[in-house]
Amino acid sequence: MKKFFDVKRSVLLLWGFAVSLFLWYFVMASENEFSVFQYFVFATLLFGGGLAYHVMSELAVCPYTEENSHLWREIRRTLCIVFLGYLFAGGALWVGIKWGGAVGVPFTIAGLVTGMLWALTFLMRLKAPVLELVAPR
């Protein structure tokens, strides 16, 4: 019988929880006015949500076996590193809101772009293990 909390399920649950927490934080930080700052928050939500859904849908169809469990552990490690980029972007948003004005907005924009580039860089590294998971043997 398959273990209830296997590696594949833990990867999908961890990724879904972590990204939903990230997106929830951005929604809670948003204001009810239209500004360039709000546009960047929206773009981050759109990019982060779309990317998270794409990763989740790709991983959900990948099989899990004892032979490929090392790949699932590598994917879990990489997704944790990806989430560090999300945390950096969220931290930049928090600091930018606290600072506000002419200092906060550029800092937030730079932090959001840096965090998203970090996340995208490590998400691109997931291509090889995911392709190996779905490759026929």
Closest CA to 99 of 107, 87, 110: 107
Whether residue 121 contacts residue 136, with contact meaning beta carbons closer than 8 Å, is answered with: no
Q: Given a cut of 80, is residue 22 above it in pLDDT? A: no
Give the pLDDT score at 1: 44
12, 85, 105, 35: CA torsion to nearest 10: -20
Lowest mean pLDDT among 5-14, 28-37, 67-76: 28-37
In tens, the pLDDT along 56-110 reads: 888 888 888 888 889 999 999 998 898 898 889 888 888 888 887 788 888 888 9
Q: pTM of the entire structure?
A: 0.72
